[in-house]
A and B are shown apart, each in its own frame.
Chain A
Amino acid sequence: MVHKAEEECDNLFVKSGKEKPETFERKQAEYKDLSKKFINTKSDYSKQFSHIYSARLAELREALIPRVKAKWENVAIVKLADLEKLENQQCIIIGTLYKHQQWKPSILRELSEEHQLSASCSASKPNYCSEKDQPFLEDEMLRIKLVGEQVDIKQIITGVVCAILGNENSDGTFLVKDWCFPGCAPKESLKEYTTQKKLILVSGLNLSNNCESLGMSLFVEWLCGMAGNITIQKDNTFIVRLIIAGNTVKNNDTSQTSTNTSKELGEVIKFVDTFLSNLATCCSVTLMPGEHDPSNAMMPQRPFHPCLLPKSSRLESFKSTTNPWVGKIEGRIIIGCSGQSIQDIVKVTGETDISPLEWLEKSLLWRHICPTAPDTLLVCPYYEKDLFIMETCPDIYFVGNTDKFETKLWKGDENQIVRLISVPRFDTTQTAVIVNLDNLDTQYISFGNI
């Protein structure tokens, strides 16, 4: 009988010669959470946000100057205040891009709409764009309007630090001839990776609506080594960690207006806790909060409080972490965001044709995880340092909660190799992403039924 079974179902079954059904041990991986800097931010909300911009500009200017000098030799770098003296000669200015947008979130407009002083028309807008948008570059003291054929208003993202080659026009605008961005941060060291270990990335589990999903249970069965045959179970022991990139609890803000919302949320969180503790008994889990999760709304989002997930927090294999998250697994540096940063960039540009992956790549070149903060993205008013500047080049850089799976192996000028991944929402796509830590090979795995 056993042999008959084996014929059809390859080596699924235990051979009668063996004593016990095989159970494999999951591999362990060196894990280091490097996002301490996000947790230790001072909760001092009395500060002005402008400090962020000046800190950002100061730090990235240092990175820009050598690049600018290499790119445009013998052109003077001037401050905006000194432009007048140059009398329209070609020069380089370094500053932060600013796009003046009429429809970006504004507390004053909200207030006036609330009091019906102005007509409400921002509610229906999917982005902040209008035809009156204007690009500026600003440094510590002044701002100057950017003009020229090189200026594509769609590509201007507020908060990005860059250097511009060009000259001042007589009307006080700046004619742009070329751009220079800080570029990808340098790689710390080049190492040989020989581990076969793998990571799984998921996002947008949305357990409040998706708790009884077949895809979800198949995913759990696959990850925990229940489904499949012995070969698959053995292969899956190389999965060393599951990273959940945000929106585990909820996926949108359509909180039911009913009075028992908080009660429902409590129930959902209990379910999430059970779900995660089940997963964590079989696999190491890193949980990042997302836009709609019960964490703080401001970036950086803090980890879920251990009391919120009492069962999961008991397990050492369960790590609750920040959003964005920086970590090191088996020597690979991983930077990830639950999605807000890229979503906000998309809103600022108003461009729907450009995939999140491209913005991810660009933000790598900008050397900044979320440039639109603090302009349109909520952020803590930290003032000593811009936390979101990428100090080192990651090996894996991902964004969660996108519409579809995309990936790209990005290669930089200085031998940087970065795996860019856009991790799709699980609740709509039923898809998870497998990343091989050895060669950064990435593939998706989908779950479902017919």
Chain B
Amino acid sequence: MFKRRDVTASCLILAKIICRKKTRLNMIMESLHEYLETVAGYIFDDDKLVTYKWLSKELEVHVNIAKQILWEFWQKYKEKKQFECVFLLMGHLHDDGMRVEIVKEKNLSTAKEKYSKIISKHVYSLQKTLPETQLLMLAEDGDVKFSGIKCIENNERNDEEIHMFRWGTASREIESASREQVQSSVSEAASERKATSPEGKQVAKKKNADRKGFDNLFGKAINKQKNPSASSNADKVEVDSFNHKKETSKNVSAEKKKNTQKGGLSNFLELGKNQTKTPADSLNKGKSANSSDKECANSFDAEKGANSLTKEATEEKVSKTGFKQIQNMRSKKRNRSKETNNAVKKRKRIAIQSDSSNSEPSDNENESELDLPLSPESSPAFLKDRSVSPPQVKHENGKRKVLKIVDKTFEEDGFLVTKKVHVYESCSEEEPEIIEPKNEKKIVSESHSEVKGKKNTKQTTLMNFFKK
């Protein structure tokens, strides 16, 4: 019996939907009562300023219908309940001007005097109380798509037109280079527009928050007080956007490791570089949505790397405290100083690593500035390395190959945890390329290719520099 009722109910709903599509008006007439109840809820329960434009947006009805609903409501309840009604008057003034104004019900008659002819009067808004009509400017905007006028000229320009429009014909030569960038930024702008819904905004907010946390990880001072909050942020996003079902306990242990790993990393990197990088980041964060979106995507990559770090670390069941790891780092340093050949390799890897971490905010302006101070000190190592073993240069160009071989050499070297750390670091630089296709597309499909392209160019330019 119950089931049957359910079925009929759902049938009714279906029918209603169809009906709504076919003859919206009839539907509205039928459901006017429902609408009136909804409006009553808005006015008396939610204490909202119910303007016709807001109502039309909320109920997704034509503005004229929204006005009608408000009018019916006013007619029905003006005797029974206490609420205020504001009218919109439109008409010709005595001096040949026109005027559009909103008037409280009680002022209606005086307001009408100044018009020679009133051409329209309708309910503008209903609300419990309204001390000043000026307050109605706080009411939410309506949606133009429910208005009485459609404009067929509002076609969107396509990407190519936009590009020409933005950069003119003079930019033809650099067009190919900037192509990817422009397109992705454009598509991001589009996606940004789509994400005006509250949920979208929230996600964006979370992204930002996460980025902040991540920047902290990369920032110079791995401030231990800051870290828990930062990494918990990072975890949130992992759960939110990546749907990684991680056990929280795992996470907690992973966090610690990650932090210390990063700490070691940042020790390795020039502290100054990171310092210069972070302010730039925080600048970008605040401002352009596009770039911050991109950066978000990038930081996700890197985060992925970090994730994989922690995952693998846990898989290998290396349960160590952060403190111990730092110690290990030091010992590793010592080891490295003994094994010069290895050290050279590592050195090189680190250099690339730091480079990629710099290029993360790839549209960052001071990117090049960051690269320059870096290269001179690391270039001797590179040159030496290359002259000694040509094959490694090959590996340099093909990143993934390098990754594999590096893994092996580390296993040969020994099983020190600290060694592992370094392998993962290099992974965090190169792994995104492997991981990206899977995860990146979920977020912003375009930004993937852009990131990839950027990284590649980055590498080649760096190599060119060293060849000189």
Contact = CB atoms under 8 A, between A and B. Distances in A.
Interface of A: 1-2, 4-5, 8-10, 12-14, 16, 18-26, 28, 212-214, 216-222, 224-234, 236-237, 263, 266, 278, 280-284, 305-307, 310-311, 313-317, 434, 443-450
B169 interface: no
Contacts of A12: 64, 67-68, 71, 120, 122
6 contacts: A9-B67, A26-B152, A222-B90, A281-B144, A448-B99, A450-B102
A450 B156 contact: no
B166 interface: yes
A450 B133 contact: yes
Given A24-B149, A221-B142, A317-B154, A226 B63 contact: yes
B154 A282 contact: yes
Contacts, number: 223
> What interface size band does chain B fall in?
35 or more
Task: Sort A-B residue pairs by CB-CB distance and give the 3 closest, nearest first.
Answer: A225-B149, A233-B148, A21-B62
A305 B165 CA distance: 9
B137 A217 contact: yes
B457 interface: no
A5 B73 CA distance: 11
A304 to B, nearest CB: 12
B97 interface: yes
Given A9-B71, A229-B120, A447-B101, A214 B136 contact: yes
B464 interface: no
Contacts of A313: 157, 162, 165-166
A446 B99 contact: yes
A281 B101 CA distance: 24
Interface string B46-90: 000000110010000111110110011001000000000000101
A229 B122 contact: yes
A10 to B, nearest CB: 7
A213 B137 CA distance: 6
Interface stretch (B103-111, B348-356, B372-380, B435-443): B103-111
B223 to A, nearest CB: 26
B176 interface: no
Contacts of B225: none
Given A9-B71, A16-B29, A266-B287, A226 B142 contact: yes
Contacts of A448: 99-102
Contact of B162 (A14, A233, A306): A306
Interface string B106-134: 01001100000001111000000000011
A447 B148 contact: no
B150 interface: yes
Given A12-B64, A26-B151, A317-B151, A18 B25 contact: yes
Contacts of B67: 9, 12-13
Given A16-B29, A444-B97, A212 B154 contact: no
Given A4-B75, A21-B65, A283 B25 contact: no
Nearest to B107: A450
Contact of B120 (A24, A232, A314): A232
A13 B68 contact: yes
B152 A449 contact: no
A19 B25 contact: yes
B149 A434 contact: no
A377 B52 CA distance: 47
Contacts of A228: 88, 90, 100, 119-120, 122
Contact of B98 (A28, A229, A434): A434
B388 interface: no
A226 B136 contact: no
A218 B100 contact: yes
Contact of A444 (B52, B65, B98): B98
B157 A314 contact: yes
B101 to A, nearest CB: 5
Contacts of B339: none
A282 B100 contact: no
A306 B182 CA distance: 13
A24 B155 contact: no
Interface in B174-200: 189, 193
A9 B286 contact: no
A294 to B, nearest CB: 15
Contacts of A443: 96-98
Contacts of A222: 90, 100
Nearest to B136: A214
A227 B88 contact: yes
